[in-house]
A and B are shown apart, each in its own frame.
Chain A
Amino acid sequence: MSAAAPLGSALPAPARGARRPALRRFMRHRLAMFGLAAIVILVVACAIGPYLSPYGPLTIDLRHRFQPPFLGPHLLGTDQLGRDLLVRLLLAGRISLTVGFAAMGLSTVFGVIVGLAAGFYGGWAGTALMRFVDAVLCFPQIFLLLTLAALVSPGVLTITLIVALTSWMEVARVVEGQIRSLRERDFAVAAEAIGVSDTHLMLRELLPNVMAPIVVAATLTVARAILLESYASYLGYGIQPPTPSWGNMLNNAQEYLTSAPWLAIVPGIVITLAVTGFNFLGDGLRDALDPRLDIHR
């Protein structure tokens, strides 16, 4: 373990030993590195950026209304009230990223629980559970989202819950399939022969071996959650002004699309950056953690 295995080593080295080649594969994945950098920059900027700016999010600068980017004191321009676009963008980022991560966390936990239960216990209950997952998957996600959003009063918490409710199915399917096959593996049978509890078998023996696909699915879920939140907020069912989010900034920009296109372009670019960033990261993780690239397993 101490010395890193030589490159291209043919020695099978699962688990701990395999994490180093996996890390190396990940570091070599350019798009993933780009995605990671984009995400880190966005998160850091959103976290500390607003404190560094001389403008507040609601500070109205009437002398500089509709200032285009780079052509005045406001770096990314201002909106119809002369509010600083950059500060609003970063504050909106806090909301959108929080919704993205929180929805990812919730949907992953929920999906893992459903997948684990269905895959582990199987039988008619497991089948019923997975057919339910399939049924939910068949339903167009955006309509489900909009229907749910129309029924409850929108807010950061509710939109997070709604996004999570519409995106846990993929994780559930991945986990269910993996658990079902892992359960037949010898080390799981060995644990059963020892007489361990179901909880131990699920959480200590099986789940650690499914972490890689879960991480990949979770990363991609963040991207989708951000996108879903943007849809909902853009359509007015999501985060409500004055709380800024990337989606409702776009909504607000509609009216000025011809006169002040940067109001739409700037949040659009940031949404694109965040979503592609997470997607690239997810792809990179998938390639790096792909068990088929791992000679032994």
Chain B
Amino acid sequence: MSGTGAPLLEVTDLAKHYPITGGRTLRAVDGVSFTLGAGEVLGIVGESGSGKTTLGRTVLRLTAASAGTIRFRGEEITDYSRRRMRPVRRHMQLVFQDPYASLNPRMSVEQILAIPLQVHEPGLKRAERRDRIEAVLSTVGLFPEAASRYPHEFSGGQRQRVGIARALICNPALLVADEPVSALDVSVQAQVVNLLLDLRQRLGLAILFIAHDLAVVGLISDRVAVMYLGRIVEIAETTTLFARPRHPYTEALFSAVPDIGGRHDRILLQGDIPSPVSPPSGCPFRTRCPYAEAACAEALPPLVERAPGHFAACRRPELTLSSPLSPQPVSRFAADA
């Protein structure tokens, strides 16, 4: 379902390295490439420390990339200054994981929502601004009266709606949703996911959906990229990925999804994700991979297209990896909501 023509977002060999003490380097994101078409939803999954959040923020130029290029709407924005980024920002917005921390506690919802309009549409009259705020509040399912309230007067789910409203008020083309539901109750998660799905359909929004929860990602994404230690190890359309994962790490992630009844054998990964300061030689996943061979330590396996649109960075394509989830993993929400 990738977009036709030039993609909305094209990321090539993107890297974000942090220098740390002792002259060493923390490679938070390394050699990441992907494209995102207009109106497409790309899920990014991986465990904590895999570089998902850094990737999202680097794409939005909230942190400077160390290497690689970011093309957005045909413009290469990789080296844009803060000033040059400003007009671009209205088209690319961010939704945060923690709806408590991402809203300024000292501003009312109306003030919070007015800022993007003041920045990007300064010609707007006061009444027009009010209308826009009211409209976006109804878009995200909040009442107009919410405008005069302060963030702490809302529940977590409502705050996340305010955060989404702030991201949407200038009609962006791209939304980076950084674990937008991880901090919410499961029932509220379903509401917010449904809201995002609905918005995507109505507004043709492209979403980079970052999460560690495969069920949520599978529900919302057209394609899914699996990240491990700052790299994409597998990327494919959601249905193919869920039907047949081609990287052992993806299989392990699937295996980790809790289910009632215990109908499959768990693949329990040993230990923690290795330090991105000194990643293992060769395949970064080999230290925890149940299928690792001696040869895996030799060279970093490249992302290879194993099936149409299905890329995996594993040097053992002969493996038949299992996925316990159905191609439409909706059962969890259907049961909980």
Contacts and interface: CB of A to CB of B under 8 A. Distances in A.
| A associates with B | yes
Majority secondary structure, A binding face: helix
B156 to A, nearest CB: 11
A186 B101 contact: yes
B62 interface: yes
Contact of A194 (B96, B101, B152, B166): B166
A137 B244 CA distance: 65
A193 B119 contact: no
Interface stretch (B87-95, B211-219, B276-284): B87-95
A186 B102 contact: yes
A1 interface: yes
Contacts of B82: 198
A194 B119 contact: yes
A72 interface: no
Contact of A195 (B85, B100, B166): B85
B126 to A, nearest CB: 18
Interface string B84-114: 0111111011101010111111100000000
A14 B152 contact: yes
B152 A190 contact: no
Contact of B119 (A12, A14, A195): A195
Interface in B48-93: 57, 60, 62, 82, 85-90, 92-93
Contacts of A200: 115, 119
A193 B89 contact: yes
Contacts, number: 76
B153 A190 contact: no
A205 B166 contact: no
A195 B120 contact: yes
Contacts of A296: 100, 152
Contacts of A81: none
A191 interface: yes
B104 to A, nearest CB: 4
Interface residues of B, number: 32
Given A186-B98, A187-B102, A193 B60 contact: yes
A241 interface: no
Contact of A196 (B62, B88, B119, B150): B119
Interface in A149-189: 185-187, 189
Given A13-B152, A193-B89, A194-B166, A187 B104 contact: yes
B115 A14 contact: no
B301 interface: no
Given A14-B152, A15-B152, A16-B150, A193 B105 contact: no
A129 to B, nearest CB: 20
A197 B105 CA distance: 20
B274 interface: no
B152 A189 contact: no
Nearest to B89: A195
A255 interface: no
A251 B100 CA distance: 57
A196 B60 CA distance: 14
A196 B87 CA distance: 10
Contact of B106 (A196, A198, A208): A208
A15 B105 contact: yes
Contact of A193 (B62, B104, B120, B150): B62
Given A185-B101, A208-B106, A190 B90 contact: no
Contacts of A15: 105-106, 150-152
Contacts of B100: 296
B94 A193 contact: yes
Contact of A190 (B86, B88, B102): B102
Nearest to A209: B106
B174 to A, nearest CB: 11
A190 B166 contact: yes
Contact of A205 (B62, B104, B153): B104
A186 B105 CA distance: 11
B327 interface: no
B116 interface: yes
Interface in A207-259: 208-209
Contacts of A13: 152
A251 B194 CA distance: 77
Contacts of B163: 190
Given A192-B62, A195-B120, A186 B152 contact: no
A261 interface: no
Interface of A: 1, 12-17, 185-187, 189-198, 200, 205, 208-209, 296-297
13 contacts: A1-B150, A186-B98, A186-B101, A189-B94, A189-B102, A190-B94, A190-B96, A191-B104, A193-B93, A193-B94, A195-B88, A195-B120, A196-B115
Given A14-B152, A192-B62, A198-B82, 7 more contacts: A15-B151, A15-B152, A186-B96, A195-B85, A195-B90, A195-B119, A209-B104
Leading 7 A-B pairs by shortest Cβ distance:
A195-B89, A186-B102, A15-B105, A186-B101, A195-B86, A193-B94, A14-B105
